[in-house]
Amino acid sequence: MPGHDNHGLPHASHAVELVVEAGQDAGLIQELALMGPAIGRYACRVTARCPDGRAALKIIIRAKTPGGAARVLAQFRALPSADWTRHRFAFELAAETGETLTLEISADAEGPALLQVTDLRLVALYEPAPRFSARFLTRGPFLLPSSRLRAYLIEDYLNLLGWPAEVGGAGACDVLICQKVRPWRALWRARRRGSAVIYDLDDNEPHQSRRLALAIRAFCKAVDGVTTGGTYLKRLLSGWNSHAYLLDNMVDILDRDLVRPRRDFSQRLVWFGMPENAHELGRLGLSQKVTRITRNGDIDYQTKSVDGHLIEFDLALMPVTLNPHSRAKNANRLIKCAGLGLPFLASDTPEHRRAVELIGLPEGFLVGPGEDWGARIADMGRRYPEVLAQIDAARERVFDIYGVERIVAGWAAFCAGRLSARRQGMDAVK
């Protein structure tokens, strides 16, 4: 389980699966050192399943003093099914300075049984905006970055906070989010129910064809607001809907405790991304070996394992040729590398430059047009101790600026405003 910070614990560890045998006193004991008094309402959530259905999930949260005395703050019991299911409970926390918070997970059963557990979370509850129910319609599965970062992980965090949210489905909701899809029937049904509809786009699809641009423009004009993945798209879509919001991708790291170990530079270079973009690496003409992490690459790209692979390298390369399509690309990979403590070199695009400036890195991490990438790699190697210090300093700012907490809070405030405007408009008509 990831570590604790003063902002709560929205940090998932999807890659870890814990197997707990029934009869153990505690299958998992996780201690969280509180940096100051923690008073307020918190939520704990775990994803679990019991293949044979014979074990109950039991969670006990205790506060321990430095002298060893312990008191129970909360207890929770649930009956997991054979399928992976999220189990969540809220509780009041009043821990004093110096106390340690202990979470214990065990399986409760009379006979032999097996309980599988993953993704243990603890978060401080807050209301970033007037609460609403949300439903996401998206084009792809969790593996697709835009669907993962702009639908699935937002829904996941809303669920952790206790907000009603789902991906897919056809039920009623307060806010319908159409992530790169334009379902007109769903839009009209939402209208009849008084729901707000938000269209989200993070690729430059309007430049693919005139017909597609006209279809996107028509949908933008029909919805209550649009969210975009970069400044270029925001300027474009603002011409079709005056209520446009820049929704930066949250940092694409599932376990915030994962960080590159301190090592000297040894020419371990890596490129990662979608296979259709791998040609960008080939155009650099590098003599150095570069490992490609992608589908059917040197290392196969898997969401649960890619971060662990990346931290084994010394330098990530992110070449991008600017054209009408790539101009709309965000700095998602750059932010991921900075969050992992992995130094990088990235093409000097508007979105890369904006991200580098936001997290406080110098221009030395950007490669301008016409620069020799091989020479820049060698320069990073010579300055590697300095580079590591710079990336370490930026890592905390990455999670502050691009962490799910801030991203969802801003997004929720925008959606709440559009929902309020929609309902006020309906009241005016009445």
**3 state DSSP class of 215:** helix
Amino acid identity at 46? V
134-250+405-428 against 269-402: fold identical: yes
**3 state DSSP class of 93:** strand
Fold classification of 269-402 is Rossmann fold (3.40.50)
- How many CB atoms lie under 10 A from the CB of residue 13? 18
Fold classification of 134-250+405-428 is Rossmann fold (3.40.50)
Supply the mean pLDDT for the chain.
86
The CA–CA distances, whole Å, from 65 to 9, 138, 282 equal 21, 47, 58
Residues facing residue 367 across a β-bridge: 347
Q: For residue 10, what pLDDT is reported?
A: 36
The phi and psi torsions of 99 (rounded to 5 degrees) equal: -80, 155
Q: For residue 46, what pLDDT is reported?
A: 85
- How many CB atoms lie under 10 A from the CB of residue 297? 15
In this structure, what token pair is assigned to residue 374?
């091989």
The phi and psi torsions of 24 (rounded to 5 degrees) equal: -70, 145
The pTM score is 0.85
Q: For residue 122, what pLDDT is reported?
A: 78
In this structure, what token pair is assigned to residue 261?
């170990």
Q: For residue 16, what pLDDT is reported?
A: 45
Query: How do residues 11-54 score in pLDDT, each as one tens digit?
Result: 344 334 556 666 665 567 777 655 555 667 788 888 888 888 88
Amino acid identity at 273? G
- How would you class 287 by CB atoms within 10 Å of its CB: exposed for 0-12, middle for 13-18, buried for 19 or more? exposed
- How many CB atoms lie under 10 A from the CB of residue 23? 15
In this structure, what token pair is assigned to residue 182?
């334009």
Right CATH for 28-124 from 2.120.10.30, 2.60.120.260, 3.40.50.620, 3.30.70.100: 2.60.120.260
Nearest Cα to Cα of residue 139 among 172, 173, 178:
178
**3 state DSSP class of 377:** helix
Q: If you ran DSSP here, which 8-state letter would residue 427 be given?
A: H
Q: Sketch the domain layout of the chain as residue ranges.
A: 28-124, 134-250+405-428, 269-402
In this structure, what token pair is assigned to residue 369?
């047009």
- How would you class 363 by CB atoms within 10 Å of its CB: exposed for 0-12, middle for 13-18, buried for 19 or more? exposed
The phi and psi torsions of 78 (rounded to 5 degrees) equal: -145, 160
Q: Which portions of the chain are predicted below pLDDT 50?
A: 1-16, 429-430
Q: For residue 39, what pLDDT is reported?
A: 64
The CA–CA distances, whole Å, from 9 to 196, 208, 308 equal 30, 41, 21
Q: If you ran DSSP here, which 8-state letter would residue 240 be given?
A: T
- How many CB atoms lie under 10 A from the CB of residue 187? 18
Q: For the packed helices 384-402 and 404-429, what is the interaxial angle rounded to 10 degrees?
A: 30
Between β-strands 100-108 and 56-64, what pairing exists: parallel, antiparallel or unpaired? antiparallel
